[in-house]
Amino acid sequence: MTSCIRSIRRSASRISFIAAICAMASCTTVPELGGMMDRGGTSGRKIVVSLKSQKAELYQHGKLTAVAPISSGREGKQTPVGSFRVIEKDIDHRSSLYGNYMKNGKVVKENVDIRKGGRPPGSKFEGVPMPYFLRFTGAYGLHAGNVPGYPASSGCVRLPNRHAKRFYEAVKLGTPVLVKR
């Protein structure tokens, strides 16, 4: 009889262990933006970018604290849509793709995409300045830049300088970024 009880207890322990593993496997380890809580030191902040209205909003604990006009990706160079997080902050970032070829301090070829065409002999690539850069995925981020009132960037989200600075200073690595149509 005791061996039967031990066998039942072992089976019950195994079932409890398997149930606990299944419960943990269904847990979400990254919170959804809708119910953003202060996890990972983000101070309850999140950024919401609306491509339709060309605006970026900064929230703290569900309260809107800043709104900025933006310029998102133009036709053929759309800004990615989805839920992201700030994965890099760089106050004086420069593009690694777009800029000018320079030689002896002078521009020899301007407004280049280094993936297209060749580099003029003896020149050096200098990326376009992207101050207050907040990378949220791949090569995309929010940064200070020209905001003409319509989508005009190569995919990043441009903000006026003073707004870019405010967003940069307000957020930390891990801050949620929601980009919606």
Q: Give domain status of residue 10, yes or no.
A: no
Domain count, the chain: 1
pTM: 0.74
Provide the CATH number for the domain around residue 141.
2.40.440.10
Among 72, 95, 79, 80, smallest CA distance to 152 is for: 72
Specify the DSSP class assigned to residue 73. B
Between 5 and 108, name the one with better pLDDT.
108
How many whole angstroms separate alpha carbon 48 and alpha carbon 57?
Answer: 5
Q: Give domain status of residue 19, yes or no.
A: no
Range of the domain at 65: 32-180
**Tens digits of residue pLDDT in 46-64:** 999 999 999 999 999 999 9
Q: Give domain status of residue 151, yes or no.
A: yes
